[in-house]
Amino acid sequence: MLRPAWPHAPTHQLSQAGTFIVTASTYKKEHYFRGAERLAVFQRELLKVLADNQWHLEAWAVFSNHYHFIAHSPPSSTPENLSDCLRFLHAKLAAWVNRRDGSIDRKVWHNFWETRLTDQRSYLARLNYVHQNPVRHGLVPAANQYPWCSASFFERVASPSIVKSIYRFKIDKVSVLDDFETFGDW
């Protein structure tokens, strides 16, 4: 008998290797990582934890109360280690931000949601979505101006034709959990 998904947490489908889009949120969408210093630490730790666990990162965007990334699962194992990676990342970031704020044992993270991308067009549209997310949130006029996302890195390392091709994909109909409020001062 199939049991319904628990209504308060996503069902993680991490049994098959592949490429995933991931979104995670702070608890109650609080802006714990507001400000340049906090965003820089957040981004650095996200990139380090994923690299240390052999996730090949394609795109990312971090904000004061959430983040998105697209990554390929490790070649040597199933993607089941994603839950452990993000649990470690969230614990490390929560401890750091709680020390900064003088809070003890404050809950910082809520959960994460992942989707395995199996369609090429869907994958490419979501790549563009993640790169353009700071623009979508009204933080910058061009994604490469937001220091805590992959757009400027992508534009430096990819060929101009690849950048142009990815940026042509429409993102207005992409379905990603992203009902987060952001602030113009980051």
Give domain limits for the chain: 19-167
pTM (two decimals): 0.85
Exposure string over 3-42, b if 16+ CB within 10 A, otherwise e = eeeeeeeeeeebeebebbbbbbbbeeeebbbbeeebbebb
pLDDT in tens, the chain (186 residues): 344 444 444 444 555 678 998 999 999 999 999 999 999 999 999 999 999 999 999 999 999 999 999 999 887 766 678 888 999 999 999 999 999 999 988 999 988 888 888 888 888 988 998 999 998 888 999 999 999 999 999 999 999 999 999 998 877 776 666 666 666 565
What pLDDT sits at residue 130? 92
Within 10 A of 44 (CB to CB), how many other CB atoms are there?
12
Q: What is the CATH number of domain 19-167?
A: 3.30.70.1290
What pLDDT sits at residue 185? 61
What pLDDT sits at residue 169? 84
